[in-house]
């Protein structure tokens, strides 16, 4: 059974590294450690090169089993400045696609999507980006609606005394004959 989730794999690899450290402390060689891992985990065992590399690092005096920092350029697309830029673009036009926002900002679609969902806590609803959480105005409407509902449950006459209206005008016409209705 192969581990498919990255987090589970990282935890599994972290624990395996501790097992390698344990084998080193009790005097096992890298080859013996690799064979023990193969015996215990079979197909899912850490690769030979990984075991030997980990064993070498422990032998050199490394005390932490955490990964070394990765080489390369640090991410520049998910910083405060870019988050503010994406927020401004979305507030001006909520019907833009993720690709359009990414092109406007000059970042990748994945980074733009991460900013929208993780940093700005938004999701796409009916071709618009909306906050996942309710605004103060929406919470107030929800409270008023809940109060009206509770009041209608307590007082049977409440709905009979309530006057409602809207701003739509409807033209009423009752055709008298079949010819008039067409």
For the 75-157 domain, the top CATH level (class) is mainly alpha
- Of residues 136 and 86, the one with the higher pLDDT is 86
Q: What percent of the chain has pLDDT over 90?
A: 4
Indicate if the pLDDT at residue 172 is higher than 50.
yes
Q: Where are the domains of the chain?
A: 6-59, 75-157
Q: Enter the pTM of the model.
A: 0.35
Identical fold for domains 6-59 and 75-157, yes or no, is yes
What b-and-e string marks burial along 28-56, b requiring 16 or more CB atoms within 10 Å of the CB?
bebeebbebbeeeeeeebbeeebbbebbe
Nearest to 33 by CA among 8, 11, 59: 59
Confidence of residue 85 (pLDDT cuts 50, 70, 90): very high
Read off the pLDDT of residues 133-163 as tens digits, 9 standing for 90 and up: 667 777 788 788 888 888 888 887 877 776 6
Tokens of 106: 């000059």
Region 46-67 average pLDDT:
78
* Fold (CATH) for 6-59: Arc Repressor Mutant, subunit A (1.10.10)
Taking the CA atoms of residue 12, residue 17, residue 18 and residue 20 in that order, the dihedral angle to the nearest 10 degrees is 130
């Amino acid at each position: 059974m192969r581990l498919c989730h990255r987090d589970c794999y990282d935890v599994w690899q972290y624990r395996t590294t501790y097992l390698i450290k344990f084998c080193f402390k009790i005097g096992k060689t890298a080859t013996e450690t690799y064979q023990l891992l193969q015996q215990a985990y079979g197909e899912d065992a850490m690769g030979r090169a990984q075991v030997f590399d980990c064993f070498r690092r422990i032998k050199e005096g490394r005390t932490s089993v955490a990964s070394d920092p990765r080489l390369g350029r640090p991410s520049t697309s998910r910083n405060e400045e870019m988050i503010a830029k994406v927020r401004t673009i979305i507030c001006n036009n909520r019907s833009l696609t993720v690709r359009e926002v990414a092109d406007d900002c000059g970042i990748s679609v994945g980074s733009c999507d991460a900013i929208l969902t993780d940093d700005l806590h938004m999701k796409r609803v009916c071709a618009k980006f909306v906050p996942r959480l309710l605004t103060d105005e929406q919470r107030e409407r929800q409270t008023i609606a809940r109060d009206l509902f509770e009041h209608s449950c307590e007082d049977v006459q409440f709905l009979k005394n309530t006057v409602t209206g809207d701003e739509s005008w409807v033209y009423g016409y009752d055709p008298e004959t079949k010819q008039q209705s067409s």
